[in-house]
A and B are shown apart, each in its own frame.
Chain A
Amino acid sequence: MSEAVVMKNVSKQFKVLNRHEGLKGSIQDLFSRDYKIVQAVNDVSLTVMKGEIIGYLGPNGAGKSTTIKMMTGVLEPTEGEILVNGLVPYKDRTANSENIGVVFGQRSQLWWNLPLIESFKLLRDIYLVEEKDYQDMLELYRSLVDIEPILHKPVRQMSLGQRTLSDILAAFLHNPGIVFLDEPTIGLDVSMKARIRELILGLNEVKKTTVILTTHDMGDVDALCRRIVIIDEGKKIYDNDIDHLKNYFGSYRTLRMRLSDDSWVEKVIDESKTDVMHVIAETQKTSRIKDIRLEEISTEEVIRKIYEGGQGA
């Protein structure tokens, strides 16, 4: 296996005008040269292997989109080096875009008024895809998902789910080495989410496409990613297998107890430190326990613990 993406000590700063509050403030702004530096990405190093699906997570404003924009060549890093498929994206945007696909959730990149199939044909011509490869890809799509109902529909008439589906298909059409998916399942219903996850998984399996996925939906992570990278305030705070994550927090259990007044109480317990039976005994001193459930900690809770606690690993 070789590397699809290599990032070395990458930082990105933005210059933002300091805006002042209210009427008086904006009169000041009219003349001020008062800028502040926002550190969107701070010294992030990251290597992604070919064929991997990684989950790139972090709270809102953590710097996920900025990272992706740098990897796609739209933004130039302030410091550090990025190589995508062996190219420096910002210097060689056109060549880089040859071999990547990008989906920004809720922001269609297709021709708004054209039926999907016409968008596909245009993309085929733009990326200079051989006719045979194009037909094979359509065949593959048909085997993975029911595309007939949307193929002849203009994008503007599609539901959000259909649009996202179309965008994902379009991103894979020229068989790129890497596909970036920025919150692809945002705002979708449960069944559409499931279909989209299956599709991504299927394409990754057949085409060995590297997928870099940002999401807030832990369902996406559980279904797709074996490895996750978490950044917060521009800094990388976690980068490892998802299994490792669960092992690391493996000693954690969620203990749910139904008390005498039928209310459920939830406690996250670190078994290496606290004994479950001890917690139950303590609780019983104040109230009778009618029912008990002991659950593995969910990915969602693990991630939340990492966001809250800063350095998790």
Chain B
Amino acid sequence: MTSVRKMTALTRAGITESLQFRLGTAVTLFANLIYLALVYYLWKAIYASSGTDVVNGMTFYDTMIYLILATAIFNFLEMFIVWDMSRAIQSGEIIMHLLKPMRYRKYIFWSYSGSLVMSFVQTFIPTFLVVAIITRGAIPMGWNLLSFAVSLLLALVVNYNIEMLVAPICLYTESTWGINIVKETIVLLLSGATIPLAFFPEGLRRVVDYLPFRAVYDIPLRVLLKKGGTDTWQGLLPALGLQLVWCIVLSILGNLFWNRAVKRITVNGG
């Protein structure tokens, strides 16, 4: 009970903090809208040039929804854990965190939860509604929304675990920028956030299927668009199951790595 209260306290603090970013919110919304327009026109032109309506099982609207919501999920899920941890390490603040009763990994998750809730409400939901209205019913509205919510939550945990698996590298090198860009590039490309996985050539797609990244963007979006048989239990459960498996595997790996990496602090004394 007390730990739940402790966690919700962090969530509340996070919400308060992100609300104080007044003007910033407006700017972000505006910039996102422009970004959406960019994606829209680019793909409209691409489809217009191709001469057919359906490419690799994706209609223009499917692709639009997929990419725009991928961007929205990107904004929603974006955590700066690598940067935060690197700064905490370089300033020595990390020691203070290690002294806190809540475990550091948990602490980070819950202190991000507030801003996650806020960005979900402030950017994801508006984007989702705008897309749903503009594409005039191209987003199926049914049970898939519920499965999508579940899948999105799992995606959040997978993404957090990827971040937490990468961030402790900061204990070994000061190259925060490098680590972050490598992580981001790999995740964005191989998860389908840049270009839908449906468009990937066969060989590349087979590789991507065995990597955790598609659990962050591709799976939730497929579930939402009822692609790849996810509109039936036989298709949905393995998809969600795969996400769950990645949550567990990455979390275990992250824990092992963190425990190993953190010994460096205690050995070196910061």
- A: residues with CB less than 8 A from B are 19, 22-23, 26-27, 29-30
Contacts and interface: CB of A to CB of B under 8 A. Distances in A.
A29 B15 contact: no
16 contacts: A19-B20, A22-B16, A23-B12, A23-B15, A23-B16, A23-B19, A26-B16, A26-B19, A26-B20, A27-B19, A29-B19, A29-B20, A29-B22, A30-B19, A30-B22, A30-B25
Contacts of A23: 12, 15-16, 19
A19 B21 CA distance: 12
B93 to A, nearest CB: 16
Interface in B151-206: none
Contacts of B20: 19, 26, 29
A19 B16 CA distance: 11
Nearest to A30: B22
Q: Which 10 A-B pairs have the closest CB atoms?
A: A26-B19, A26-B16, A26-B20, A30-B22, A23-B16, A30-B19, A27-B19, A23-B12, A29-B20, A23-B15
A245 B187 CA distance: 67
B69 to A, nearest CB: 26
A80 B1 CA distance: 59
A305 B12 CA distance: 43
Interface residues of B, number: 7
Interface string B9-27: 0001001100110100100
A230 to B, nearest CB: 33
Interface in B1-50: 12, 15-16, 19-20, 22, 25
Interface in B66-89: none
Contacts of B15: 23
Contacts of B16: 22-23, 26
A32 to B, nearest CB: 9
Given A23-B16, A23-B19, 11 more contacts: A22-B16, A23-B12, A26-B16, A26-B19, A26-B20, A27-B19, A29-B19, A29-B20, A29-B22, A30-B19, A30-B22
Nearest to B25: A30
B177 to A, nearest CB: 15
Contacts of B25: 30
Nearest to B16: A26
Nearest to A17: B22
Contacts of A29: 19-20, 22
A56 B75 CA distance: 48
A97 to B, nearest CB: 29
Nearest to B23: A30
A27 B20 CA distance: 8
A29 to B, nearest CB: 6
Nearest to A27: B19
Nearest to B19: A26
Nearest to B21: A30
Contacts of A22: 16
Contacts of A26: 16, 19-20
A169 B250 CA distance: 52
A124 B16 CA distance: 48
A180 to B, nearest CB: 26
A199 to B, nearest CB: 28
